[in-house]
Every structure is written in C-alpha cells, then in structure tokens.
C-alpha cells in the first residue's frame, strides 16, 4: 500500500500531491509520537501548577488577559472551535482539504504545539478513512493562521459540522460513525493548536505551485510548436545569447526550445529565407519564460519550507521548560510567494495568447485565417482566441497583490494581517486560467502544423503533437470547440503532454 510517513521535518511537495490526489495513506513516525508526548507533558504540568499561559488557560486574541479556571478548559477549547467556524462561500475542493489535513498533522508532529498524539492521529485517520470536512473557502485573513477554515475542519473531529464521505454529505457525527471513528474531546491548548496555522493557504499554494511548475514546462512545448508553425527562427535561442545575459532559467528555456525543435523539417524548409526577426512573443520566449521560472522557484522555496513549519502559537519548547508566544501563524511569507507565483504564471499566459493570435492572423502566419481549412464558411479558432483573451485579462485583475492589503481585526489585537489565503486561492485561479490559455495555444499550434506540407516538426514538438492527436483529432471543419478545450485542459492538468515529451528528450 502506498503510504506517506510524517515526522514534522521531511514532508515534500510530492508527498502532499500523493496524499491529496493519489489517495496515499498516512502514518506517523514513532519519533514524532515521542516528541508530541514530551510536549504534552509540559502543557499538563502548566495546568497542574496553575501557571497562567496564553492559549492554555486564558482567553484568545483581545481576551487573552482573561484567566480560565481548570474546570473550564475543555469548554474553552470547544467554544473556540464553535465560535471561529464562521466561513462562507464555496467548499474547498477535496484534494486541497486532504492536503490541509496532512499539513496540520505534520506540523503537530514537530512537538511544538503541546497536543496529545491522538490529535495528529485523528487527522491521519480522517485522511485514511476518506472523511473530507466541508470547509467554506472564504473567511480567513491569514493572520492568526486560517482560523475560520481550520475551525470548520476541526468541527468534524468533534462530531459537529459536515463532512463528505464517498461523495455523500453527512453531519460530522454521521461521517465519523461511517468511518468508525469516535468524536474526540479537546483538552487544554488543543483547539488553539488546530486553529492556529497556515495549513489552508499552504494547501492551496501547493496545488497552485505544482501545477505552475508543470505549466512552465508545457509553455516551452507550446512555444516551440508555435515558433515552428510560424516558420520562426531558432537563432534567438542560441546558447551564446542566453549566456551573455547570464540568467540560468533563461539559459534552460532556450536549451529546451532547441531540444524541442531539433531535426525539424519545418525549420529546415525556410533556412535561407529573408526573414530576420520574429515578433517578441516568439523571439523572447527564453527571457519571458525564464523570468517566470525564476519567480516560480522563489515561490517553491517558500512553500516547501512552510510544509514543515511550526505555525502554532504559543510554541512549547519542552527541552527548555519554556512556552513562548510569537507570530509564526502569520501568513506573510506564503502570501507574498503566492502573489509572485500568480504574476509569473499570468505572464506565461499573456505571451501564450500573443503567440496564439499570431497563429490565427494570416498576415503573421501565412496560413488560412483562424486556421480554418475553408475560412468563411468555417470560423476555426477565432473565438477560442477570444476565450484566451478573456482569461488573460481576468488574470490581470487577479494579479493585483493580496499581500499588500491588510485590515485590522479582533479589536486591533490582530492589527496587521497577510491575506495569505486569498492570495493562494487566486493564485490557483490564475493557474487554472493559464492552463486553458496555453492549452488553446497547443490546439492551434497542432492545427497549424497540418498546413506545413506534411513536414515533420522537431523531435520534441512531434511527440507533443502526437500526444495531442491521440485525444483530439485535426479540425477539418467547425465543430464544438468546447469539447476540445475541455479535453486539452484535462491533458494539461494531468501533465500528460509534458510526461510524453520528457520521456524521450529528457527533463525540461
């Protein structure tokens, strides 16, 4: 059985993808259980000694100065979850919820939160038994972490709220009974540990990041096919040009383009033409795609760090017999990374849409208008480009950074917030739009190849062309293009085309 073992230190992006999308089960490393037990003893001693510690025996936020008696601690934790479950909007998709459950269990495994091992194990059991808490997507400002959405996640552990099991929406209590789980009773500090943290925004961020990484490679493939179809030159991709500037990602993209276009009969057919330069959207692919890759790598560095971060408050340093209140729950690193990621991916879509327009314009391509075999009676890809234009314009609005926004909450106790969850949600929206745009460029590029007198495209381009044609036939006359667009989006999301190309020419 496929299984991911969590210890609070070594979770990877691929682990999250495996649990979120591939249905891998999860287990907790023995060392993590030991760390949680030691941390929990510190909390129990604080309660036994009557020592006043924020989040253990006090109120929360602006009410942190209110002391809570030991016989009210269970009620305090329950009330915290109930009062914070104020989310609204559409439900978070099941794979992202599974990722959030994994991330929350993993951070508890670090042993800084003071929770019993049973809490992390309960989260793991919900993953393994396919209990998906119903979490509204909106309501977090990303400051004390994702308070509202994580409260909805935690409700189900208590037999409250709602969850989906095998596609059926059930009450929290019914969901647990279906999964043969008993509701848990939260002890001191445990409700706060579940609600504090960046796990919802990070789950969205992982989804956006992994798809962006795949999309960056696909953009190179789409760009190569378009350049070939437009009878463009590969001279602009010469390695000497790239090294003269010095950006490693630019050098890599140019290397990819050369590999994709290698041995192209289409390129060879116009080697001695009079054309000197191509439009920027073709000529500057290494510069633009390279810059996007650089930004995506920055986002990856932040997000992979956050996978194994302690984002609770306060943190228990049991080795030092100390409890420290800080601000690791603040989502600013993730917020800034997601805004950067969105901008990078939007640029991949922007330049893709410009290449698509050049394919459809007979003045630029020398091909039939809109790549229709009988233009006039057929409209070809005319409105597909309009769809792409609409999506890139929508992305420009979505790329307004959430991370520069803040609004005071909790009677000014939480006076500067990150808006990280919104940044992550809209970054994923940008990625989804860009997947469609680049997918449409691929459709048009493959159609354009049909008009190039049966000449073979480059080594990598030919593999991509074959992968597309395996699922989507050549357009001989107008048909319902939504079907083609839906299919290419599916291929893009599953990374089918990139995997096919990389299996032959190597990693892009």
Q: What is the DSSP string of 246-259?
A: --HHHHHHHHHHHH
C-alpha span between 153 and 193 (Å, rounded): 12
Confidence (pLDDT) at 208: 98
Give me the residues paired with residue 5 across strands: 27
Distances (CA, A) of 153 to 73, 137, 287, 307, 384: 20, 11, 43, 18, 40
Tell me 293's DSSP state.
H
* pLDDT tens readout for residues 338-394: 999 999 999 999 999 999 999 999 999 999 999 998 888 999 999 999 999 999 999
Check whether 334 has a pLDDT greater than 90.
Answer: yes
Query: What mean pLDDT do residues 179-187 have?
Result: 97
* pLDDT tens readout for residues 463-504: 999 999 999 999 999 999 999 999 999 999 999 999 999 999
Copy the structure tokens of residue 221: 């493939």
Confidence (pLDDT) at 68: 81
Confidence (pLDDT) at 126: 98
Distances (CA, A) of 150 to 8, 195, 247, 496: 19, 5, 41, 34
Please report where in the chains the tokens 């597309």 appear, as a residue: 468
Q: What are the DSSP E strand ranges found in 149-294?
A: 162-165, 168-171
Check whether 428 has a pLDDT greater than 90.
Answer: yes
Check whether 64 has a pLDDT greater than 80.
Answer: no
507 pLDDT band, cuts 50/70/90, is very high
Contacts of 367 (CB under 8 A, 6+ apart): 229, 359, 448, 451
66 pLDDT band, cuts 50/70/90, is confident
* 3 state DSSP class of 169: strand
* pLDDT tens readout for residues 411-421: 777 788 899 99
477 phi-psi bin (left φ>0, alpha ψ -120 to 50, beta other): beta
pTM score: 0.96
Confidence (pLDDT) at 214: 98
49 pLDDT band, cuts 50/70/90, is confident
Say how many Å lie between the first and final Cα of the chain, rounded: 31
166 pLDDT band, cuts 50/70/90, is very high
Contacts of 249 (CB under 8 A, 6+ apart): 289, 290, 291, 293, 294, 297
Confidence (pLDDT) at 467: 97
Do residues 326 and 313 make contact, with C-beta atoms less than 8 angstroms apart?
yes
Sign of CA dihedral 147, 151, 157, 158: positive
Confidence (pLDDT) at 70: 80
Mean pLDDT for the chain overall: 95
Count of CB atoms within 10 A of residue 168's CB?
10
* pLDDT tens readout for residues 116-128: 999 999 999 999 9
Confidence (pLDDT) at 38: 96
Confidence (pLDDT) at 52: 84
* Weakest mean pLDDT among 34-38, 398-402, 407-411, 419-423: 407-411
Do residues 209 and 305 make contact, with C-beta atoms less than 8 angstroms apart?
no
Confidence (pLDDT) at 111: 97
Q: Diameter of the chain by CA atoms?
A: 87
Count of CB atoms within 10 A of residue 400's CB?
12
Query: What mean pLDDT do residues 191-205 have?
Result: 97
101 pLDDT band, cuts 50/70/90, is very high
Confidence (pLDDT) at 446: 97
Candidate list 54, 280, 381, 465, residue with the active-site label: 54
Query: What mean pLDDT do residues 242-267 have?
Result: 97
Confidence (pLDDT) at 375: 87
Confidence (pLDDT) at 374: 87
Copy the structure tokens of residue 374: 């009988």
147 pLDDT band, cuts 50/70/90, is very high
* Weakest mean pLDDT among 58-72, 300-314, 395-409: 58-72
Estimate to the nearest angstrom the gap between the alpha carbon of 474 and the chain centroid. 32
Confidence (pLDDT) at 454: 86
Confidence (pLDDT) at 354: 98
Calculated CA dihedral for residues 408, 410, 412, 416, nearest 10 degrees = -40
Query: What mean pLDDT do residues 20-40 have?
Result: 97
**Is 54 in the active site?**
yes
Confidence (pLDDT) at 327: 93
Check whether 63 has a pLDDT greater than 80.
Answer: no
Do residues 187 and 116 make contact, with C-beta atoms less than 8 angstroms apart?
yes
Tell me 57's DSSP state.
S
406 pLDDT band, cuts 50/70/90, is confident
Can you count the helices (H) and strands (E) in the chain?
A: 21, 9
Confidence (pLDDT) at 356: 98
């Amino acid at each position: 059985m496929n299984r991911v073992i969590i210890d609070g230190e070594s979770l990877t992006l691929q682990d999250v993808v495996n649990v979120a999308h591939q249905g891998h089960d999860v287990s907790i490393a023995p060392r993590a259980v030991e760390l949680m037990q030691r941390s929990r003893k510190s909390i129990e001693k604080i309660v036994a000694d009557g020592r006043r510690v924020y989040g253990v025996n006090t109120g929360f936020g602006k009410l942190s100065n209110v002391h809570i008696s030991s016989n009210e601690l269970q009620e305090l934790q329950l009330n915290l979850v109930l009062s914070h479950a104020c989310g609204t909007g559409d439900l978070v998709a099941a794979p992202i919820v599974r990722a959030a459950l994994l991330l929350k269990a993993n951070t508890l495994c670090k042993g800084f939160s003071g929770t019993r091992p049973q809490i992390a194990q309960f989260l793991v059991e919900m993953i393994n038994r396919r209990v998906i808490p119903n979490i509204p997507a909106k309501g977090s400002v990303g400051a004390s972490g994702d308070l509202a959405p994580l409260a909805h996640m935690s409700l189900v552990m208590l037999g409250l709220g709602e969850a989906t099991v095998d596609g059926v929406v059930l009450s929290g209590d019914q969901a647990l009974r279906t999964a043969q789980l008993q509701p848990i009773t939260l002890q001191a500090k445990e409700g706060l540990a579940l609600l504090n943290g960046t796990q919802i925004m990070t789950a969205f961020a992982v989804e956006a990041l992994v798809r962006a990484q795949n999309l960056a490679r696909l953009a190179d493939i789409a760009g190569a096919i378009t350049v070939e179809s437009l009878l463009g030159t590969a001279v602009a991709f010469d390695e000497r040009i790239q090294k003269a500037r010095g950006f490693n990602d630019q050098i890599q993209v140019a290397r990819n383009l050369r590999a994709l276009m290698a041995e192209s009969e289409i390129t060879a057919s116009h080697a001695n033409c009079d054309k000197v330069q191509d439009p920027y959207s073709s000529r500057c692919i290494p510069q633009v795609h390279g810059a996007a890759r650089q930004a995506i790598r920055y986002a990856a560095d932040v997000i992979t760090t956050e996978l194994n971060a302690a984002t609770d408050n306060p943190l228990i340093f049991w080795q030092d017999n100390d409890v420290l209140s800080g601000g690791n729950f603040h989502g600013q690193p993730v917020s800034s990374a997601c805004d950067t990621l969105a901008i990078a991916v939007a640029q991949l879509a922007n330049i893709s849409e410009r290449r698509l327009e050049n394919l459809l314009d007979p003045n630029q391509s020398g091909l039939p208008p809109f790549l229709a075999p009988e233009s006039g009676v057929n409209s070809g890809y005319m409105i597909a480009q309009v769809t792409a234009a609409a999506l890139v314009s929508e992305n420009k609005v979505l790329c307004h950074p959430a991370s520069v926004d803040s609004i005071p909450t909790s009677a000014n106790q939480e006076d500067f917030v990150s808006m990280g969850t919104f940044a992550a949600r809209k970054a994923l929206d940008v990625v989804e739009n860009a997947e469609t745009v680049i997918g449409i460029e691929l459709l048009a590029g493959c159609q354009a190849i049909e008009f190039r007198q049966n000449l073979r495209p480059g080594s990598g381009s030919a593999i991509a062309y074959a992968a597309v044609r395996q699922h989507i036939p050549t357009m001989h006359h107008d048909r319902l293009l939504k079907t083609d667009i839906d299919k290419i989006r599916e291929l893009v999301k599953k990374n089918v085309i990139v995997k096919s190309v990389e299996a032959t020419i190597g990693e892009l």
